[in-house]
């Protein structure tokens, strides 16, 4: 006997049959249905379809209409139900999107509509979903620097729904910043960078809590700034702050997402020695001694391509999200180098230094030092 053919019907025909007694079943996930579903549709996700129908005591002889987002999953659902012994199944062409476009009746369940609409593209990723988005919403990221690297990183982290962003920077907005520091505007020249950043990020996503500290990170305040953070982002523009952040993150067991830019080149990595002693390197393993000021002039002295911090800052934001969600392979033990002129990435493997004065396995934290003098070579 030939296999039963899956019937494909238009949304209008599905509505007519539903009103005549057919059961309309929405096979999308609950977070998708929360954005709106065909009126009176029974929600049963594709992954639990047959068990879900059994739980609702749907008999094999019931006429079933399957609907999803655009029509693909409903065809799979129809095939599953035919194989399970259901006798009358049809798939709605174009799914819920077409149902809405044709003005057919829609219902929206009670709930946080802003949340489901704002993060709908994350919620549709099975690797993130509602559980992952809730994880982002409860996360706390500390960022030192609200300038070139901090701007794109903070923008994308706020957009992604990270619950709390802690920003520390003692600088004010200067007109020369606007070429690359996209958090700031002409109207906010002279304003504290963290306040300018708070205004921009709150306008983008009012759900995110911004804690702004208009102060330079020092040995006295670093633990208060990063102590409760899940991830720390290095957006600093000076070596004393980088070494200090590294040492504090090793001591407190925080992953540090590193980024740096110079002229037309950038670097990024994840230093996670505090949680992985002896296997993951820290910043000092890569740079035991700071370079001389002549070998590493800052952006004001050497210049920087305006879009370069955007590339590196977005890599930092990506790594931070991966760390929070425990997704993929972080840049732990790898230094990513970006050459904008050649449009080329290359990677260098990094190893933990068994003699590192800060992160060597079994070594007690040596205490904070005078990082300004250390970086000056005194």
Judging by DSSP bridges, how do beta strands 209-213 and 7-9 pair with one another? Answer: unpaired
What one-character DSSP code corresponds to residue 280?
A: S
Q: Alpha-carbon distance 169 to 109, whole Å?
A: 43
Helix runs in 161-257, H state only: 193-204, 222-226, 239-252
Judging by DSSP bridges, how do beta strands 256-262 and 231-234 pair with one another? Answer: parallel
List the strands of the sheet with 231-234, edge to edge: 209-213, 164-168, 140-144, 231-234, 256-262, 265-271, 334-339, 344-349
Q: How far apart are the first and last CA of the chain?
A: 88
Contacts of residue 57, Cβ cutoff 8 Å, sequence gap at least 6: none
Count, residues in the chain: 378
Residue 212 pairs in a beta bridge with 167
Cβ(166)–Cβ(194) below 8 Å = no
Q: Alpha-carbon distance 170 to 149, whole Å?
A: 15
Known active-site residue 68: no
Q: Which of 282, 285, 299, 375 is catalytic?
A: 299
Question: What residues are labeled active site?
Answer: 299
């Amino acid at each position: 006997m030939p296999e039963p053919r899956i019937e494909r019907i238009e949304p209008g025909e599905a509505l007519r049959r539903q009103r005549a007694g057919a059961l309309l079943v929405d096979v999308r996930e609950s977070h998708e249905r929360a954005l709106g579903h065909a009126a009176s549709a029974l929600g049963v996700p594709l992954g639990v379809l047959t068990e879900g129908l059994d739980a609702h005591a749907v008999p094999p002889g019931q006429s079933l209409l399957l609907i999803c987002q655009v029509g693909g999953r409903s065809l799979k659902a129809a095939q599953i139900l035919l194989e399970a012994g259901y006798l009358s199944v049809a798939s709605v062409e174009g799914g819920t999107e077409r149902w809405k476009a044709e003005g057919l009746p829609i219902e929206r369940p009670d709930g946080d509509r802003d949340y489901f609409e704002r993060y709908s593209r994350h919620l549709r990723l099975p690797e993130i979903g509602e559980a992952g988005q809730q994880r982002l919403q409860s996360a706390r990221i500390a960022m030192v620097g609200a300038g070139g690297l901090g701007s794109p990183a903070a923008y994308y982290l706020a957009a992604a729904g990270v619950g709390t962003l802690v920003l520390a920077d003692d600088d004010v907005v200067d007109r020369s910043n606007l070429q690359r520091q996209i958090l700031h505007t002409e109207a906010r020249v002279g304003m504290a960078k963290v306040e300018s950043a708070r205004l921009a990020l709150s306008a983008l996503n009012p759900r995110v809590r911004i804690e702004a500290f208009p102060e330079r990170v020092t040995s006295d305040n670093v633990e208060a700034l990063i102590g409760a953070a899940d991830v720390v982002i290095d957006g600093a523009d000076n070596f004393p702050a980088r070494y200090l952040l590294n040492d504090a993150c090793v001591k407190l067991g925080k992953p540090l997402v590193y980024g740096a830019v110079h002229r037309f080149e950038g670097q990024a990595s994840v230093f996670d020695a505090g949680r992985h002693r002896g296997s993951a390197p820290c910043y000092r393993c890569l740079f035991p001694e700071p370079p001389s000021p002549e070998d590493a002039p800052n952006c004001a002295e050497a210049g920087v391509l305006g879009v370069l911090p955007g590339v590196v800052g977005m890599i930092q934001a990506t790594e931070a999200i991966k760390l929070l969600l425990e997704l993929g392979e972080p840049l732990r033990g790898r230094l990513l180098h970006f050459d904008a002129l050649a449009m080329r990435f290359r990677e260098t493997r990094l190893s933990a230094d068994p003699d590192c004065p800060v992160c060597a396995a079994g070594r007690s934290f040596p205490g904070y030092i005078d990082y300004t003098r250390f970086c000056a070579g005194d």
